[in-house]
Amino acid sequence: MSSTVLDAAHSVVHDYPGGAEALATRLKMASSTLRSQVNVNANTHVFGLKTAVTASQLTGDPRILFAFASELGYVCMPGEGIELDVSPLMAVSQLMAAHGDVGQVVHEALSDGRISSAEQDAIEDAIAANIQRLHALQNAVRAARRKGGRCD
């Protein structure tokens, strides 16, 4: 497993409220085992996929997933917020609004000639919202097609 993914696993485990001890209890394993599994300098224990998924679910922390995707040249984004019952016209309208939001956030961030960490976060959030709107449009078009092409 790449060190980036292991670094993410280490952070997920140790940043959990109560740390590795609390998460290990929920994973039904010894805390020493869990600490060894996410120790990038140890190779005596393996942090397996099943444990990684369960730990991510229990913590609500997607960093392992994001690191894994990044290692493969992909990006991940949350699926929630994607409307499933919207017309294609409304989906396009929402997409254009989200696109405008990206432009506004970037414009504001560049106004002083520098991009701060908070501004970068705001830009990335706006881009993620725009991508979600693209997925909503895709879902709306698919739903319309399933309805025999009706767009209402």
CA distance 65 to 78: 11
> How many independent structural domains does the chain possess?
2
* pLDDT value of residue 81: 60
Instruction: Please compute the mean of the pLDDT values over residues 24-29 and round it to a whole number.
Output: 97
Same domain assignment for residues 55 and 15: yes
Which residue has better confidence, 43 or 103? 103
Q: Which two tokens stand for residue 92?
A: 């396009």
What range does the domain containing 133 cover?
88-146
Same domain assignment for residues 114 and 141: yes
Q: What is the mean pLDDT of the chain?
A: 90
Per-residue confidence at 151, pLDDT binned at 50, 70, 90? low
pTM over 0.75: no
Q: Tell me, what DSSP letter sits at residue 132?
A: H
Q: Which two tokens stand for residue 98?
A: 């989200």
Q: Which of 71, 99, 130 is the last residue of a domain?
A: 71
Planar angle of CA 137, 139, 143, nearest 5 degrees = 115
Same domain assignment for residues 62 and 93: no
Cα distances from 15 to residues 6, 10, 21, 43, 63, in angstroms, run: 14, 8, 11, 21, 11
For residues 126 and 98, the answer to whether their CB atoms sit within 8 Å is: yes
Same domain assignment for residues 17 and 63: yes
Same domain assignment for residues 62 and 99: no
* pLDDT value of residue 22: 98
* pLDDT value of residue 142: 85
Q: Which two tokens stand for residue 94?
A: 């929402």
Same domain assignment for residues 61 and 18: yes
Question: For residue range 73-85, what is the model confidence (pLDDT) as tens digits?
Answer: 988 877 666 666 7
Residue 76 is assigned to a structural domain of this protein: no
For the chain, give the number of residues: 152
* pLDDT value of residue 80: 63
Q: Which two tokens stand for residue 86?
A: 């919207």
Please check the confidence at residue 57 and state whether its pLDDT lies above 90.
Answer: yes
Identity of residue 22: A
Question: For residue range 113-131, what is the model confidence (pLDDT) as tens digits?
Answer: 999 999 999 999 899 889 8
CA distance 117 to 24: 33
* pLDDT value of residue 152: 62
Which of 3, 44, 64, 5 is closest to 35 using CA atoms? 44
Please check the confidence at residue 38 and state whether its pLDDT lies above 60.
Answer: yes
